[in-house]
Chains A and B, each alone.
Chain A
């Protein structure tokens, strides 16, 4: 989502790389580039200016650290300011003390209100066990009521609407209906309106007056340009906005609106819409978003994702196997399945820290992963455990079973062997470069005043690293297969593993070694534990 902004910023930061110290001059150079990058990302003009000034202050003020790489310091200051700008706190929906919680959704036409209503209702039902009622009050756009009804049917969720009433009346009746029937969440879907349309703006204010919603939420298209700020301000004047939701974040919008909104209106971002499917909605975390904008990945989010979907013990076992060299196709298969559990590949890759541009831009088709899985499942368990027995006739059988060419099987085995070889090498190297990104994160955390980053994720990060490398090899294979088909431009197939894993260089090698030592420690402990069990 923020790829282009990220790349622009990274090239800016690289100007400072290798410099001994931050000076007024190189700060100014860097900031000019940053400002340009922000403007190209649709960050509001005034905010881009103020923002760069604040970063400058931070850099020239007391916060300046001696002996820390200037580019890192620059990134760090930038990161902190970004968090300040977008947060700094995670915002929450207000929940009613008694009676149903009412959420009023407003916004411009085509921002994605109706879809977001359904997504939000489903999210809150799933995560907070709420009983939602959707109220269709968009009588302006043809078939908008029908759209919400269809979504309601898909989600098995009630939709309230009464024909012949004005939108404020529909909303009022909807809230009453919810109270009478014991729903504890009411989401009011209103018509899209332009902020310069006085009549319609008065109407939405009227709805707010009659229903007294606990949350007045503005739905904003992430692709909106400089005008986002104007419309948000106008809505805020008519309503008392409590939050906003950014939609269409799965495009390549550079998210300038996201960065500007909070600063201009003081209204926090609550959620982001990240895809076409009904469960593509995520809570917004300024800290993580800042990390993603800066290409540091969203490690915390990734850990969440992992924790939600993956058994930690299993991941640990997998990693040990890889380290000890007793890695088989069976394990590679298990890893593939584990990673797939975390969600669509594109999303997972976007959260990985230090991913080079080629990987992020790569069009990861989950169908390719299905084909890969088919190859694995066409093998016998013995074959997966002892890949060496896969002679040509067995390979032919596997290919037939998977409905693919023998070359696909060969490719997979080649990748497997490379991966195994790489594991050995990594083992020799003390796995240093592999954890480059997380080490960088650690160091940054050390520098950060609040230091609340990635807390409690330590153990998980280890297994994550292992997963990452597994994923790397898998992707590599995938890439060259895609290349074989002539589909993918650029050298994904020849991608350097180092670039993949160590794209973000560790800041201090000591940090890396320490974590490697820690890891070995843990390994020993775990081994003991398992022995004890036996």
Chain B
């Protein structure tokens, strides 16, 4: 099964909603008019596209006036074009040149950081790299245990503190030092979930990032923000605030296997230009896919329009 098929299968709910939505809007051979465009805007809004939805439907209206779009297929094609255009991104810079390559994973509470780390570890191990995990979430009860359980399942090594409320920066320091000493290819550092509105916790993150640099000066090589795919417009605020505290270089969108459509990605891309690196599409360890704009948009819109 190809990547596209798998993605399509996992995003089936998402697809059903938007694609079928478009079909039902055009049911009975309706012509494009104001009312239809309003319905289309509503459809896009319910996919968490937010203000982007208004932009898109305004653009479609303009095109319609100029006579560039006529029927359902035209709308689908244009929509695809616009959406892909909005997600255009540079390819991943993750080349694993540095040894260890240090990844710092950040995000709000419950966005799916720890699970995403487990999936990343599984993926990298599968590519034949050695992986070390740093249990930097020292705040939430049993968070380190959770990561340890994942680590033992996937066969990654883990560095953790057995104290409650240990200093996360110290754990990060130890983890990266261990990764250097044990000559690991990748070190993935977990952090505690924090709401982006809490300034002191955001500065803590800054400190973690700074302390890592004491071991490996150009680390963390990548800082990825994990966003909950079911989050709405607030995800944009999260991205903004986290980018201010640490230099976020990419996004992981988790939990995209529900009916959520991760439409907030478009808003984030527009506001901050952050590339999406991976999307999480299910509970088991394999279900983390590299993000590809075309495949993603096709999966959302349903039909392959080559």
Contacts and interface: CB of A to CB of B under 8 A. Distances in A.
B234 A143 contact: no
Contact of B143 (A112, A147, A250): A147
Interface in B83-98: none
A108 B258 contact: yes
A253 B109 CA distance: 13
B108 A248 contact: yes
A405 to B, nearest CB: 23
Contacts of B228: 110, 221, 223-224
A225 B149 contact: no
Q: How large is the interface on B (under 10, 10 to 19, 20 to 34, 35 or more residues)?
A: 35 or more
B140 A110 contact: no
A147 B233 contact: no
Contacts of B269: none
Interface stretch (B24-32, B45-53, B72-80): B45-53
Nearest to A361: B197
A521 B215 CA distance: 70
Nearest to A39: B45
A349 to B, nearest CB: 14
A363 B245 CA distance: 15
Contacts of A195: 258-259
A256 B50 CA distance: 12
A141 B146 contact: yes
B108 A142 contact: no
Contact of A231 (B150, B196, B258): B258
B108 A251 contact: yes
Interface stretch (A40-48, A264-272, A377-385): A40-48
A278 to B, nearest CB: 10
B142 A147 contact: yes
Contacts of A148: 141
Contacts, number: 148
A150 B109 contact: no
B199 interface: yes
Interface in B140-158: 140-143, 145-150
Contacts of B196: 251-252
A369 interface: no
Interface string A45-56: 110000000000
A231 B112 CA distance: 18
Q: Which of B42, B142, B145, B238 has the most C-beta atoms of chain A within 10 angstroms of its own C-beta?
A: B142
A196 B110 contact: no
B233 A41 contact: yes
A373 B111 CA distance: 38
Contact of A110 (B47, B111, B199, B263): B111
Contacts of A149: 141-142
A149 B146 CA distance: 13
A254 interface: yes
Given A231-B259, A251-B195, A256-B232, A223 B108 contact: yes
Given A147-B141, A225-B48, A142 B149 contact: yes
Interface string B55-72: 000000000000000000
B119 to A, nearest CB: 13
Q: Which of A109, A224, A254, A256 has the most C-beta atoms of chain B within 10 angstroms of its own C-beta?
A: A109
Contacts of B111: 110
B200 interface: yes
A444 interface: no
A226 B141 contact: no
Interface residues of A, number: 49
Contacts of B51: 40
B142 A42 contact: no
Contact of A250 (B47, B195, B230, B231): B195
A223 B234 contact: yes
Contact of B110 (A112, A142, A225): A112
A295 B255 CA distance: 34
A88 to B, nearest CB: 25
Contacts of B264: 225
B45 to A, nearest CB: 5
Given A110-B255, A111-B110, A223 B231 contact: yes
Contact of B233 (A40, A46, A365): A40
A39 B50 contact: yes
B260 interface: yes
B237 interface: yes
Contacts of A41: 233
A410 interface: no
B184 interface: no
Interface string A352-370: 0000000000010100000
Contact of A146 (B145, B199, B260, B263): B145
A42 B149 contact: no
A194 interface: yes
Nearest to B196: A251
A147 B140 contact: yes
Contacts of B46: 44-45, 226
A317 interface: no
Contacts of B108: 223, 248, 251
B245 to A, nearest CB: 13
Given A147-B143, A227-B258, A254-B233, A221 B110 contact: yes
A248 B50 contact: no
B103 interface: no
A144 B45 CA distance: 35
Contacts of B235: 223, 225
Interface pairs A-B: 7 shortest CB-CB: A225-B232, A110-B110, A142-B149, A150-B141, A143-B145, A42-B232, A147-B142
Given A143-B149, A147-B140, A194-B257, 11 more contacts: A42-B233, A110-B112, A143-B143, A147-B142, A151-B141, A225-B233, A225-B263, A227-B259, A230-B258, A230-B259, A231-B230
Interface of B: 13, 42, 45-48, 50-51, 108-112, 115, 139-143, 145-150, 164, 195-200, 228, 230-235, 237-238, 255, 257-261, 263-264, 283
15 contacts: A45-B46, A108-B230, A109-B112, A110-B111, A143-B148, A147-B143, A223-B231, A224-B228, A225-B263, A226-B46, A226-B263, A251-B197, A251-B234, A252-B196, A252-B237
